């Protein structure tokens, strides 16, 4: 059974809302329509002509990428304009294109967090925190016989799950409070009450059900409340809270379980990365032999900072936070020199390899959601490192 492009959009933006993206960025649906029904979804780091050809051959109606096209406005739609040729080709083939970029970088699917797990870093924090989630208390009143149905519907939309900044918050879900009371209402002419009669004051034993939800889940939670509640017009309160919610941000920084030399850590990290499911699950073969390392191999490494993709803007953050090693996608020559002068080693994976784990994480996230059961989700065999590895 096919799914719509809009369903895929909603699912990705549930974990990485477009509002998280930087102002200069261009995430979202870039070609096509949300109403389009698709049987096959192709995931790729980039949208290239080769990826589009693969989508056509595999009958994929939707391409989902990390890097967006059209970062700069087009002034014409000429076929001899290279910037316009790609979106025009995608459009002509009847394919939709969706991208999640800096919003995905700040999500739990971030490659930086994946690499932090591979290194088994402790006390992990964001290298740069960008914001804390806004929290709302949602309160509703439900007849006793229906409370479990409503609770489950709300929980399915993220209500009561990992709602604080506490270190143990991620290990709790379905956090609700309920208390008994009595609700009352008078149904007027034109209504169709589930309980009681028109024109009479009806008293109903009800449960006050309440919990906390992040702002990004609020609209979906209210929709689920209306759908699952037995009343025509359910009563509910939405109360903004001053409590800080979970933080989001770029990169990761934390401590190794045991300090070791740079010469010991780097090859073991590359081996672990190369053998990790996020790499092994890809249809293409990837060679990590071209990565670069700068720094004294005898240097003791205790604290590691990570930023997938272009890492130049986070060098000062890594230094100020006391990182002994900074692992990133690509870094300018002078950024490497500045880092070494500050006593921080640099591990450069290349932009491609530093972000590939995010595509596998996105594949897993989409594949495990019940709303995607009708679609075939595949990772592109054409998404590859553009650089040839020299001898």
Question: What is the length of the chain?
Answer: 391
CA 160 to CA 154: how far, in whole Å? Answer: 8
The more confidently predicted of residues 290 and 32 is: 32
Structural domain contains residue 350 = yes
Average pLDDT over residues 169-173: 86
Q: Where does a domain end: 211, 245, 279? A: 245
The verdict on residue 315 lying in a domain is yes
pLDDT digits (tens, 9 = 90+) for 310-336: 999 999 999 999 999 999 999 999 999
Average pLDDT over residues 241-249: 91
The answer, yes or no, to whether residue 129 has pLDDT greater than 90, is yes
Please give the pLDDT value at position 99.
Answer: 98
Q: Specify whether 305 is located in the same domain as 329.
A: yes
Asked whether residue 389 carries a pLDDT value surpassing 60, the answer given is yes
Average pLDDT, the chain: 93
Distance of alpha carbon 13 from alpha carbon 217, whole angstroms: 10
Copy the structure tokens of residue 284: 């293409």
| Residue 275 in domain | yes
Residue pointed to by tokens 């900074």:
326
The mean per-residue pLDDT over the stretch 292-310 comes to 96
In-domain check, residue 390: no
SS3 readout for the chain: CCEEHHHHHHHHHHHCCHHHCCCCCCCEEEECCCCCEECEEEEECCCCHHHHHHHHHCCCCEEEECCCCCCCCCCCCCCCCHHHHHHHHHHHCCCEEEECCHHHHCCCCCHHHHHHHHCCCEEEECCEEEEECCEEEEEEEEEHHHHHHHHHHHHHCCCCCCCCCCCCHHHCCCCCEEEEEEEEEEECCCCCCCCCCECCEEEEEEEEEEEEEEHHHHHHHHHHHHHHCCCCCCCEEEEECCCCCCEEEECEEEEEEEEEEHHHHHHHHHHHHHHCHHHHCCCCCCCCCCCEEECCCCCEEEEEEEEEEECHHHHHHHHHCCCCEEEEEECCHHHHHHHHHCCCEEEECCHHHHHHHHHHHHHHHHHCCHHHCCCEEEECCCCCCCCCCCC
Same domain, 123 and 149: no
pLDDT, position 169? 82
Whether 253 and 125 map to the same domain: the answer is yes
What integer pLDDT is reported at residue 284 of this predicted model? 61
Pick the last residue of a domain from 245, 279, 306. Answer: 245
Residues 30 and 88 in one domain: yes
Confidence class of residue 363 from pLDDT cuts 50, 70 and 90? very high
Asked whether residue 42 falls in the same domain as residue 77, the answer is: yes
Name which of 211, 201, 206 is nearest 181 in CA terms: 206
- pLDDT level of residue 81 (50, 70, 90 thresholds): confident
Would the pLDDT of 98 be above 80? yes
| Residue 150 banded pLDDT, cuts 50, 70, 90 | very high
The answer to whether the predicted template modeling score (pTM) of the entire model surpasses 0.75 is yes
- Segments forming the whole domain that contains residue 62: 3-104+357-379
Percent of the chain with pLDDT over 90: 82
Shared domain for 266 and 338, answered yes or no, is: yes
384, part of any domain: no
Domain count of the fold of the chain? 3
Q: What is the mean pLDDT of residues 60-78?
A: 93
pLDDT at 391: 54
CATH number at residue 230: 3.30.70.120
pLDDT > 80? residue 279: no
User: Does residue 387 lie in a domain region?
Assistant: no
User: What are all long-range contacts of 48-57, with beta carbons under 8 Å and residues at least 24 apart?
Assistant: 48/86, 48/382, 49/86, 49/89, 50/382, 51/380, 51/382, 51/383, 52/86, 52/89, 52/90, 52/93, 52/95, 53/382, 54/380, 54/381, 54/382, 55/93, 55/95, 55/380, 56/93, 56/95
- 95 and 34 fall within a common domain: yes
Query: Residues 263, 283: one domain?
Result: yes
pLDDT of residue 281 exceeding 60: no
Q: Which of 204, 230, 245 is the last residue of a domain?
A: 245
Beta bridge partners, 182, equal 205
User: Is residue 193 situated within a structural domain?
Assistant: yes
Which residues partner with 307 through β-bridges?
A: 328
Residues 84, 117 within the same domain = no
The candidate with the shortest Cα–Cα distance to 349, out of 302, 287, 283, is 287
Residues 25, 76: one domain?
A: yes
pLDDT on residue 276 = 73
Q: Please, which pLDDT band fits residue 295 given cuts at 50, 70 and 90?
A: very high
> 171 and 87: one domain?
no
- C-alpha neighbours within 13 Å on the C-beta side of residue 133: 23
Q: Give the side-chain half-sphere CA count within 13 A for 87.
A: 19
Tell me, yes or no, whether 343 lies in a domain. yes
Q: What is the CA radius of gyration of the chain?
A: 25
* Residue 126 reports pLDDT greater than 70: yes
Q: Which comes out higher in pLDDT, residue 386 or 122?
A: 122
CATH of the domain at 347: 3.40.1390.30
pLDDT bucket at 79, cuts 50 / 70 / 90: confident
Q: Are residues 138 and 116 in the same domain?
A: no
Per-residue pLDDT at 103: 97
21 torsion bin: left (phi>0), alpha (psi -120 to 50), beta (else): beta
Tens digit of each residue's pLDDT (9 = 90 or more) over 102-118: 999 999 999 999 999 99
Average the pLDDT over 71-88 and give the result.
89
Q: Supply the pLDDT for residue 293.
A: 96
């Amino acid at each position: 059974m096919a799914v719509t492009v809009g369903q895929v959009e909603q699912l990705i933006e549930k974990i990485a809302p477009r509002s998280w993206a930087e102002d200069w960025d261009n995430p979202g649906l870039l070609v096509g329509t949300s109403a389009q029904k698709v049987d096959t979804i192709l995931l790729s780091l980039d949208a290239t002509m080769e990826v589009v050809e693969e989508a056509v051959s595999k009958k994929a109606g939707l391409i989902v990428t990390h890097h967006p096209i059209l970062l700069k406005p087009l002034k014409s739609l000429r076929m001899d304009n290279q910037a316009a040729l790609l979106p025009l080709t995608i459009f002509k083939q009847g394919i939709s294109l969706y991208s999640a970029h800096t919003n995905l970088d700040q999500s739990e699917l971030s490659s930086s967090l994946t690499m932090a797990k591979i290194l088994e870093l402790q006390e992990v924090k964001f290298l740069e925190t960008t914001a804390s989630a806004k929290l709302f208390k949602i309160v509703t009143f439900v007849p006793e016989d229906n409370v479990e149905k409503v609770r489950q519907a709300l929980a399915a939309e993220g209500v009561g799950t990992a709602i604080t900044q506490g270190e143990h918050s991620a290990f709790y879900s379905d956090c609700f409070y309920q208390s008994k009371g009595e609700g009352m209402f008078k149904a007027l002419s034109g209504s169709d009450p589930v309980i009681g009669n028109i024109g009479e004051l009806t008293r109903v034993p009800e449960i006050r059900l309440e919990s906390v939800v992040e702002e990004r889940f609020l609209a979906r939670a209210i929709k689920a409340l209306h759908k699952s509640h037995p009343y025509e017009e359910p009563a509910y309160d939405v109360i903004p809270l001053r409590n800080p919610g979970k933080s989001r941000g770029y990169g990761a920084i934390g401590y190794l379980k045991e300090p070791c030399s740079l010469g010991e850590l780097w090859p073991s990290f590359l081996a672990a990365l190369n053998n990790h499911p996020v790499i092994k699950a890809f249809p293409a073969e990837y060679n990590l032999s071209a990565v670069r390392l700068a720094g004294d191999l005898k240097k003791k490494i205790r604290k590691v900072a990570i930023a997938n993709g272009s890492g130049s803007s986070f060098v000062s953050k890594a230094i100020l936070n006391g990182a002994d090693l900074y692992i990133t996608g690509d870094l300018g020559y002078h950024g490497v020199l500045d880092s070494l002068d500050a006593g921080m080693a640099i591990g450069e994976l290349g932009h491609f390899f530093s972000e590939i784990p995010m595509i596998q994480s996105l594949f897993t996230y989409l594949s495990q959601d019940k709303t995607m059961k009708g679609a075939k989700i595949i990772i592109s065999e054409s998404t590859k490192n553009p650089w040839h590895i020299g001898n």
